[in-house]
Amino acid sequence: MQAIRSILVVIEPEHSESLALKRAKLIAGVTGAHLHLLVCDKKHEHSALLSLLKSGLQEDGYSVTTEQAWNDSLHETIIDVQQAEGCGLVIKQHFADSPLKKALLTPADWKLLRYCPTPVLLVKTSTPWAGKVVLAAIDVGNNDSEHQALHNTIIDHGFQIASLAKAQLHVISAHPSPMLSAADPTFQLKETIEARYREQCKAFQAEFDVDDAHLHIEEGPADVLIAHAAHKWQAAVTIIGTVARTGISGALIGNTAEVVLDAVDSDVLVLKPQELMDHLQELATKA
């Protein structure tokens, strides 16, 4: 978070209060990042609004530029501008689609999560971050090098946001149910599964000073546990990783990030493995 030099802020002209801009100001106020305000608009009818926002932000000491653009779809427009401006973070307010619309069409915010080659912060509430809980969700069961790197990135961002907002960092990971038929005896008992998962967490616990009271290893589906934990601790921000599944399987199944997005009453920061971000970067460059 501290390394982000430029933030793309998606402005929704039809909404009087921009929650995305509110979060962007909080982050830029600490990091000194430049703010690039974008209205996704075919007709370019919002020059006055952008000019007003820009002058107000500049008076408050922020570095700001503005733009109106459109390219075929909302998520493609956002990614095109992110690429052109070199923004290291995209912030957008999330508006939930109806179940019927989601059944017929893939929501634009889901597409943004899948294809954007940078972290995306989707803002859902006006709840202040200060003094609240930042919930970082990881998948300890996947312990290959790519997932380990993603886990560290998720917790690192959680730690930085908690420091920025003087909030508490909690970390959660789901583990599978015991199976008596499992070849590895560890996975035959709940206690031994949890013990193994906790052992795998010791390295990042030491690095980021996460004590056992703030580490939660629980049995069940990840999307259900994350939503329950976010509600239980009234999290202000939930941080999750995604493999950004695409194609038919991704469209039909969705992934945890997409399910969690609509299930939690908190802002959601979505991160991706570096290898996947590099691949999406290539795709965006060729588009």
CATH code of 173's domain: 3.40.50.12370
Is 67 a domain residue? yes
Residue 185 is classified by DSSP as: G
**Angle between helix 145-165 and 274-286 (nearest 10):** 90
Q: Tell me what the mean pLDDT of segment 259-263 comes to.
A: 87
Is 127 a domain residue? no
Give me the domain span that covers residue 88: 6-93
Which pTM does this prediction carry? 0.88
Query: Which is more confidently placed, 115 or 275?
Result: 115
* Statement to judge: residues 149 and 243 lie in one domain: yes
Is 55 a domain residue? yes
* Statement to judge: residues 273 and 179 lie in one domain: yes
Task: State the pLDDT at residue 244.
Answer: 53
Output b/e per residue, 224-258; b: 16+ Cβ within 10 A.
ebbbebbeebebbbbbbbbbbbeeeebeeebbbbb
Which of 13-27, 84-98, 110-124, 172-186 has the least mean pLDDT? 172-186
Provide the pairing of β-strand 34-40 with 235-241: unpaired
Residue at token pair 């889901």? 110
Which CATH number covers residue 11? 3.40.50.620
* Statement to judge: residues 137 and 80 lie in one domain: no
Query: Which is more confidently placed, 219 or 179?
Result: 219
Is 110 a domain residue? no
Report percent pLDDT > 70 for the chain.
83
Residue type, 13: P
* Statement to judge: residues 276 and 141 lie in one domain: yes
Residue 262 main-chain phi, psi, to 5 deg: -90, -10
Task: State the pLDDT at residue 195.
Answer: 83
Which residue among 78, 93, 108 closes a domain? 93
**Angle between helix 222-232 and 256-263 (nearest 10):** 30
The alpha carbon torsion through 73, 87, 258, 245 (nearest 10 deg) reads 80
Q: Tell me what the mean pLDDT of segment 191-211 comes to.
A: 83
* Statement to judge: residues 178 and 272 lie in one domain: yes
Domain count, the chain: 2
Is 11 a domain residue? yes
Is 121 a domain residue? no
Is 238 a domain residue? yes
